[in-house]
Amino acid sequence: MYPPKLITTPVIWELGRKYPVVTNVRQASVTDEIGIVCLEISGQGPDLKAAIQWLEKQGIKVEPVEISVIES
């Protein structure tokens, strides 16, 4: 979940530039007040951990999802 101050910031693009991870937007809902994105991130364990920590430092709430959004 994105806070309002980051709605217009290209956070997913920045994430891919900063860390060797592959991102795939599975679902998204964005308004002027909040952004909710279901983002698949793949890569090596340490890179994933660092990428998630960076997202959290930006003020983004990260919650792991174990189910496939497309398959469900």
Q: Give 10-residue mean pLDDT values along the chain (72 residues).
A: 89 96 93 88 95 95 72 50
The pLDDT score that the predictor gives to residue 72 is: 47
The pLDDT score that the predictor gives to residue 21 is: 97
The pLDDT score that the predictor gives to residue 22 is: 96
Distance CA 43, CA 23 (A): 9
The pLDDT score that the predictor gives to residue 71 is: 54
The pLDDT score that the predictor gives to residue 64 is: 84
Distance CA 55, CA 10 (A): 12
Distance CA 33, CA 14 (A): 21
The pLDDT score that the predictor gives to residue 67 is: 58
Going by the DSSP 8-state scheme, the letter that residue 69 receives in this structure is T
